[in-house]
Amino acid sequence: MTTAAAGEPDIPPMPARTPKALREAISRHAPQLLTDFDAHWKRYVADAYDTSTVPAFMARWWAEYAIARDPRLDAHVTALEHRAAYECTDPAEAKALLEEASNIRHMAARAEPGR
């Protein structure tokens, strides 16, 4: 675990970049994702005859976990997407909110193991 400043949540480091390590980290630090992770694994990887789906699976869930492991970042992304979907009446504002959420997801996808 990383050390956090007083009053800030302790954000766990990213796991090794393997499905098993990612699942373990999700079950420990972001269990709210586990049911969807397991269902997605079963449908697109475990029951597949072609393992070419593993990189896309890992990319999606790597970013999901990178965000979910930080409660404040997760809440921020959720709020951006909620505002864009349910509160904005201006399409340009909604687009800007979704672009900000997308940029955060892209940055999260680049998180390195151990960080």
Q: Which residue ranges make up each domain of the chain?
A: 19-109
User: What is the overall mean pLDDT for the chain?
Assistant: 92
Give percent above pLDDT 70 in the chain.
92
Q: Is residue 69 exposed (0-12), middle (13-18) or buried (19+ Cβ within 10 Å)? A: buried
**10 vs 43: CA distance, rounded Å:** 33
Provide φ and ψ at 25, rounded to 5°.
-65, -40
**70 vs 13: CA distance, rounded Å:** 10
State pTM to two decimals: 0.87
**98 vs 30: CA distance, rounded Å:** 23
* Tens digits of residue pLDDT in 26-77: 999 999 999 999 999 998 898 777 889 999 999 999 999 999 999 999 999 9
Q: Is residue 47 exposed (0-12), middle (13-18) or buried (19+ Cβ within 10 Å)? A: exposed
